[in-house]
Amino acid sequence: MRLLSRTRGLPVITREEAEQLGRVEDLTVDPRTRSVVCVRLSGAPKHATTIAWDLVEGVGQDAVVVRSAASAGGGRHDFPTHHEILGKRLLTEHGTAHGTVKDIAFDPTTGHIQTLYTALGDISGDHLLGVGEYAVVVRGV
């Protein structure tokens, strides 16, 4: 399990060239698959600013490792719209407020969202229905 808050800011490096591509600015979550679909980079002037999750080889305490600079520039580009998750209001599908999202835990291998940590308790990632500009929506809790 890995926390989003502890993944932000990590350097993203290539395994083949040992080159730093940038730092993790954020992760984009697809609510349909309930998983991380891409890594958004900051400070990546020479490289892609978004890397598909399937190109990530590992997420450790000190860095996120991708295959190579060449592979990081390729891959799919039809990612869902990125919306901030941390600090966002959390609502049930019926509009009931359930605090704010304090953090999310995800599987560092698959990217599957395991838990949403909120001000009012933890919610299984399997309950995630939507991530929008205004709120994160979950199946009734």
Residue 80 confidence (pLDDT): 84
What are 77-112's pLDDT values in tens digits?
A: 678 889 999 999 999 999 999 999 999 999 999 999
Residue 85 confidence (pLDDT): 95
Q: Which two tokens stand for residue 79?
A: 């990612």
Domain positions in the chain are: 2-73, 89-138
Q: How many CB atoms lie within 10 A of CB 6?
A: 12
Under CATH, which number does the domain 2-73 receive?
Answer: 2.30.30.240
For domain 89-138, the CATH architecture is Roll (2.30)
- Whether 75 has a pLDDT exceeding 60, the answer reads no
Contacts of residue 110, defined as CB under 8 A and 6 or more positions apart, other chains included, come to 35
Nearest to 110 by CA among 21, 48, 25, 37: 37
∠ CA 24-54-18, nearest 5°, is 55
Average pLDDT, the chain: 90
- Whether 74 has a pLDDT exceeding 80, the answer reads no
What are 22-51's pLDDT values in tens digits?
A: 999 999 999 999 999 999 998 866 666 889
Contact 65, 86 (CB under 8 A): no
Q: Which residue has 């891959």 as its token pair? A: 75
Higher confidence at residue 126 or residue 71? 126
Contacts of residue 18, defined as CB under 8 A and 6 or more positions apart, other chains included, come to none
Q: Which residue has 């590992």 as its token pair? A: 58
